[in-house]
Chain A
Amino acid sequence: MLTFRRIVGAFGTCAALALAGVTGPTQAVAQDYPTKPVQMIVPFSQGGATDQVARLMAQPLEAALGEPVVIVNQPGAGGAIGLANLAMARPDGYSVAIGSDSTLGARPMMSDTGYDLNSLTMIARLVEIPSGVAVRADSPYKTLADLVEALKTERLTYSGSGIASGPHLAMAAFLAQQGVTATFVNSDSNQDGLVKLLSGEVHFLTGGGSNFPALFSESGESDIRVLGLAAEERWPFMPDVPTYREQGFDYVNSQWFGIVAPAGVPPEVVDRLSAAVAEVVGSDAFKERMKEFFFNPAYLDSKDMLARVIADSEAVRPVLMELGLLKK
């Protein structure tokens, strides 16, 4: 029996390969995509903000595509492992993953990740969060200017979630722009960084704005003070916090998440997926749910997302060089 099955199996594989050679698999699949479930790799663990965005997306995306969207959590290395495995998947549009500013931009420049921009296709950007900086409520620094001024004479330390993560690079780039430096103390997560801030181990914390609102009571009291958010205009979730620009620092930066696929996905499939995502992100229901996570829906299509990644990468390259993190 076993040998018989094996022979049949081998024959089947040969036949499939031959067929694939004749018709070209991508064209046949691309026209009526999707015909089977789409797997979405979330490179973070269950329960995290990215996971929840992905799960919120899954249902309306299923409705838009007409096929189930299956979430697979593959955490590790700040989101890089999931992308490395995605890059090896078949580029047929049935495997996609959630990428972020730092995993798509900085990470491949730092070490051998098994993927880079050339091995991935951008599908669409989903949401963004302005970068921000916070100090303890009893800190002598009341404004961003106070902090920058102090950094000119003192050696201060700061923390954030992960080496060369979005928040770390956002602050490093800002400090470089101001011509000052500070010592970075790495944390495993934003919450870990918050512990370091509250225990007085570091002087300030860099993090995405979405981490801050839950730390304030309804009347606005808190153990921390947010000095500024690097958004274009004031952030609706924290309207009292001034932007960097308002304080005289021309710096805008955000962390964002988007959907990517392996390189070589047929353009029809990219368009189909991208259009489906646009529909979901534009819906009022999605916007309403994103408010609970303090995320701003920020759709970009495939081309604009790629342009954004490239621009971001070029911006952080000198910063990585300065920090000695650039791959040799």
Chain B
Amino acid sequence: MDLISFSDISTGLGNVASPWVILFLFIGVIIGMIFGAAPGLTAPAAIALFLPVTYAMGPTTSMALLLGIYCSGYFAGSIPAILINTPGTPSSAATALDGYAMAREGQGDRALSLAIWGSFVGGLFSLMLLMTVAPLLAKVALKFTSVEYFSFALAGIVCVAGISQGSMTKGLAAALFGILVSTVGLDPVSGVGRFMMGQPNLMGGISQTVALIGLFAISQMLLLSKQGEQHHAILPTQQRVSQLAVLGELWRHRWLSLRSAVIGSMVGVLPGTGPAIASWLSYSDAIRTARAGDRFGNGEAKGVVACEVSNNAVTGGAMVPLLTLGIPGDPVTAVLIGALMIQGVHTGPFLIQQDGGLFVSILFLLFLSNVLMVVVGLSGRGLMARVLNLPAAFLVPAICLTAAIGAFSVSNNAFDVRLLLIFGLVGYAMLRLGFPPAPAVLGIVLGPILEKNLRNALTVSDMDPSVFVLRPISAGALLVTAGLLYLWLGPRRRSEASET
């Protein structure tokens, strides 16, 4: 390792080995757990909220707090996704598909444990990459232009076909609705206002977080309050599982885990993406390699593993461009740049060279926060599961309240709370009419990436579409897309359809 010297390692260790650093790391993990788990509050929101607190801390302590929030926040979104079908963050929307189905079969504890260990594996894998090949990965990231981003986003959006259970038409409609929502606001390429209805607050577009909380959390709560207490009759008593068995299960899915970890890390490395995309890509990869007997969408443990390994693998990946180029890899690392700047540390290509001690501290902190995440997650999961015993009369208002606070905190704007209500009603209508909300979220997340990069790529190439097939990485992604479509829409699917 020519990246860091032994003196850097000792400085880094020295920085981390302080009771304050460990204390704030622990506090960070707890905060991340709470923010991630509360529907509406997200890890980026928590980091933004607690950032001003770090102004008075040293660089290592402030990184401890923020990285603690980062790692556990990315995992914790899966807790409500599994237990009440209400993903706490956009990145856990895919986890809800199988996780909630598992909880309905009394396997909630197993799903949660798999999510915790899966997140741990993903986090560690990406940390290892960061430690060993960060500069190399950064070079790979710079091979990606708008052309490649578009092709990869296309591979992501065709997942709609894979996750639309029941009616494909309704799935497509939901996805298109999501894309339509993402077009509101100032056009990303020419700056013209679209669908703003004279409302300046829509200039920035509809916040993905607000739309997601509305579609999932509020709609779910409306449904719950309509069903009343019957809800608890549906969810059986949750079986406790032994952690050894869970680890064994993870080992059986080692290749899936490895692929998901690679996907998550790479998505993390790419600037302008995030954990939501990582978990969808891994989920579709899991479906692509499904064997006979796998029940994706109906409680398949592999679905949970793929998503959770992948979205936590983003953490280490996203640190790669941050530390090697000074460019954020996901929304959270964008805030981390500011946090470092406050400490007088300028993130740029020479950070590791000039401040090797800090780099090593960050590696240690990431490792420790992953460990603490497992400890806090495992010891707290009994408490989490108890949420299910809460009467709807408490659960519904409590979640609606945190959802409203979460929507407001996105940009301290009361307008977003109104938007939340609208999306809640839309989501409720979708649930009642059998439109799956997951493809809508996929559309909202990938829509802007598709549009922006398609138009930018064509602008650069002077409107010549051949760039998409002539550039090898892009061509590869398009081939995968074609393969996925064949798999999902091809002869087998059609013959199944004709049988029924």
A residues apposed to B, CB below 8 Å: 45-49, 51-52, 55, 71-78, 80-81, 84-85, 110-115, 155, 157, 162-164, 183, 185-186, 188-189, 191-192, 194-196, 198-202, 213-218, 222-223, 292-293, 325
Contacts and interface: CB of A to CB of B under 8 A. Distances in A.
A198 B411 contact: no
Contacts of A81: 200-201, 203-204, 411, 413
A157 B196 contact: no
A223 B138 CA distance: 13
A182 to B, nearest CB: 11
B169 to A, nearest CB: 33
Contacts of A325: 190-192
B200 A214 contact: no
Interface string B309-348: 0000000000000000111100000111111011010111
B193 interface: yes
Nearest to B410: A75
A76 B477 CA distance: 32
B203 A214 contact: no
A214 B342 CA distance: 14
Interface stretch (B48-56, B88-96, B215-223, B383-391): B48-56
A96 B164 CA distance: 48
B165 interface: no
A173 B388 CA distance: 61
A47 B349 CA distance: 20
Given A81-B204, A215-B348, A195 B327 contact: yes
Contact of A188 (B193, B272, B337, B462): B272
Contacts of B187: 163
A46 B185 contact: no
B350 interface: yes
Interface stretch (B140-148, B150-158, B246-254): B140-148
B297 to A, nearest CB: 34
Contacts of B186: 77-78, 111, 163
A218 B335 contact: no
A201 B146 contact: yes
30 contacts: A45-B335, A47-B338, A48-B338, A52-B342, A74-B412, A74-B413, A76-B413, A81-B204, A84-B203, A85-B200, A111-B191, A115-B200, A155-B462, A157-B459, A162-B191, A163-B186, A163-B189, A185-B459, A185-B460, A186-B452, A186-B456, A189-B334, A191-B271, A191-B334, A194-B327, A195-B325, A196-B146, A198-B142, A217-B353, A293-B341
Given A72-B412, A85-B201, A214-B347, A199 B143 contact: yes
Contact of B144 (A47, A185, A186, A199): A199
B166 interface: no
B412 A55 contact: no
Interface string B32-73: 000000000000000011011001000000000000000000
Nearest to A41: B412
B194 to A, nearest CB: 10
Nearest to B187: A163
Contacts of B55: 55
A208 to B, nearest CB: 15
A46 B203 contact: no
Nearest to A195: B271
A52 B337 CA distance: 12
A112 B198 contact: yes
Given A155-B462, A192-B272, A195-B142, A75 B341 contact: no
Interface residues of B, number: 57
B354 interface: yes
A317 B151 CA distance: 37
B330 to A, nearest CB: 12
B476 interface: no
Contacts of B452: 186
A185 to B, nearest CB: 5
A162 B203 CA distance: 13
Given A75-B411, A76-B204, A77-B204, A47 B145 contact: no
Contacts of A200: 145
A94 to B, nearest CB: 16
A103 B328 CA distance: 24
Interface string B404-427: 000000011100000000000000
Interface string B457-498: 001101000000000000000000000000000000000000
B188 interface: yes
Contact of B52 (A46, A186, A218): A46
Contact of B456 (A47, A73, A185): A185
Contacts of B326: 191, 214-215
Contacts of B193: 111-112
Given A74-B411, A74-B412, 18 more contacts: A45-B335, A45-B411, A46-B49, A47-B334, A47-B335, A78-B186, A84-B203, A155-B462, A183-B462, A185-B146, A186-B189, A191-B334, A194-B327, A199-B142, A200-B145, A201-B460, A214-B346, A217-B354
B145 A164 contact: no
B136 to A, nearest CB: 15
